[in-house]
Structure 1
Amino acid sequence: MKILESLKWRYAAKRMNGQRVPSDKVERILEAIRLAPSSMGLQPYTVLVIEDEELKKQIRPIAMNQPQIEESSHLLVFAAWDDINPEHIEEYIRHTAEVRNMPAEQLNDFKNTLLGIADRNTQEQNFNWAARQAYIAFGVGLVAAAAEQVDATPMEGFDAAALDKLLNLPEKGLRSVTIMPLGYRDADNDWLAKLPKVRRQKEKFVLEA
């Protein structure tokens, strides 16, 4: 499928049939998410992959009882860093130097820029910035799933504090931002499956400045 055909095919499935998504498709979706752009390349978020049926059952009431939670093959939780700290930045610089086969000292100016940005913001500002970066990766994940003809439902309707507690995210320095069930649509039981996709008219959506 070409990209526009894939995007026309996808929609936010309201019911899934429980069929398992092949592992190679899941891996390609996750790799696309990993390759997504982020500000400064820092990628201040983590993606948790949940397959355990009992855990999904516990998450469902936290997520407004949405059935896709349990009906999905894999449940992805996008969790942003609770704060941007010097340890995060030092690790990123070390990794960059290793990948690019260069002395870490050559990245000192870049490191100091990152440290300065993180230091002048409050913890909540750093978290909000990290959450916005997570959403970029989230969008890439939705497109990648469509390209694989895997249904993916974007979800914000959940109790983030309760989900964080269930998944022990505070201990990991993380806070949940959004979740993405992966699976296959149950077209016979999904009221949205056969309805035309609705998007704003191009002439109203795209303006020439």
Structure 2
Amino acid sequence: MKENYFKEGYSIKDQFATHFLTLTVCGWIDLFTRKMYKDILVDAFKYAQGQNQLILYGYVIMSNHLHVIARANDKQKKTLSDIIRDFKKFTHHEMMPVINSEAESRRRWMLHQFAYYGKYNPNNETMQIWENNNHPEECFTKAFTDSKLYYIHENPVHAGIVKNAEDYVYSSASNYAGKGGILDVELI
């Protein structure tokens, strides 16, 4: 299990190119079913954007993963890998105390699962929320980027959460529909 689970498949070759990324909770645990956890992700994105590190083109936060189309600001020194690493580290450290302190019915089970995944990662002390790989795909063409943006926006529709993509709060679909959103994005 250990060697297969942490094997790296995809990598970011051009650290300042636009990429489609998928960040997944270990074991596909439905962590983001509560607003407080999703809001931690939103705050982390806002911080990276506010520091002029991350340029965000599209996103969706689902119950156990999130998709983004983004790039590192080439006027800064931080690479896309650095930004994603810091994002995961920050959100992990923000979420763990919430999981431990809130009235979370699945608390013991989630902590057990995160400890299990952390045990098999030599880079962790004890717990691991995020899978290591982000499955980065460089957005080489407009057609590829558009298809990924459509896929991102349709995720909540296909999951049966909303009927119209722009009605899902934790997505950039509303930005593209001209309604604004909880995060600012640069329209493609």
Normalized per residue, the structure richer in helix is 1
TM-score normalised to the size of structure 1? 0.25
Provide TM-score, normalisation by structure 2.
0.27
Answer 1 or 2: higher relative contact order, Cα 8 Å, separation at least 6. 1
